[in-house]
Amino acid sequence: KAGVTQTPRYLIKTRGQQVTLSCSPISGHRSVSWYQQTPGQGLQFLFEYFSETQRNKGNFPGRFSGRQFSNSRSEMNVSTLELGDSALYLCASRDGTGDGDTIYFGEGSWLTVV
Amino acid sequence: AQSVTQLDSQVPVFEEAPVELRCNYSSSVSVYLFWYVQYPNQGLQLLLKYLSGSTLVKGINGFEAEFNKSQTSFHLRKPSVHISDTAEYFCAVSVLNQGGKLIFGQGTELSVKP
């Protein structure tokens, strides 16, 4: 089975622009979550989607949004980019909704805001 | 609220020596515990997880961890490390009824020297 696939892997954006990141979960997985990783704040949960519905949301401003499609693929969008949004954005998937489910991570999308 | 503290930010060790990476958590409710590894420029890979039962959990690559409820700890150990174990290690808890949301520690950078 293919793992969690994220595109693009690397991108550079200018402050004030917006960006969309894409994620394809492991085949059969219906839950997709997103995390932000920075040297200062570490790994922080952004949100999770299951069956196209947002189930949970982290403590991020409204500039960060996401969605999930009927095929479980997900996108996250960041509008009005700030320098502090430079980070590795990790997508993860799991096949159920149980608390102890194994969560599988993709390799991430490296976003640099200049 | 839940929190995770990894007590060492960096752990240097010589090849074939034993290693312990320390993790303490704080939670007023039951949690599930995880250890992930991140190799340079890659996503996170699950090493092991504790859900219930035996407090000694064995994972991949020869790693094991022991859950200690009274000390709220979940330390990761390996009896003999290899150069290839050089990576960053993250301890995480899964929040009850918020299964897709992992709360991570700040990470421990394990550096194995020849």
Is the bond leading into A8 cis (omega within 30 degrees of zero)?
A: yes
Q: To the nearest whole angstrom, how far is the Cα of A89 from the nearest Cα of chain B?
A: 10
Q: What residues in chain B have their Cβ under 8 A from chain A's Cβ atoms?
A: 32, 34, 36, 41-46, 49, 51, 90, 92, 94-107
Say if residues B110 and B21 touch (Cβ distance below 8 Å): yes
- Whether B79 shows a pLDDT value over 80: the answer reads yes
Do β-strands A10-13 and A109-113 pair in parallel, antiparallel, or remain unpaired? Answer: parallel
Say if residues B44 and B90 touch (Cβ distance below 8 Å): yes
- Whether B28 shows a pLDDT value over 80: the answer reads no
What are the pLDDT digits (tens) for A14-65?
999 999 999 999 999 999 999 999 999 999 999 999 999 999 899 999 999 9
What are the pLDDT digits (tens) for B57-74?
999 999 999 999 999 999
Please provide the average confidence, as pLDDT, over all residues in chain A.
95
Please provide the average confidence, as pLDDT, over all residues in chain B.
93
Confidence of residue B99 (pLDDT cuts 50, 70, 90): low
Return the closest-CA partner of residue B111 out of B10, B18, B20, B38: B10
CA gap A104, A81 in Å, rounded? 27
A6: number of Cβ within 10 Å = 23
Contacts of A41 (CB under 8 A, 6+ apart): none
Residue of chain A with shortest Cα separation from B94: A99
Contacts of B74 (CB under 8 A, 6+ apart): B23, B24, B25, B33, B35, B50, B65, B66, B67, B68, B91
Three-class DSSP category at A96:
coil
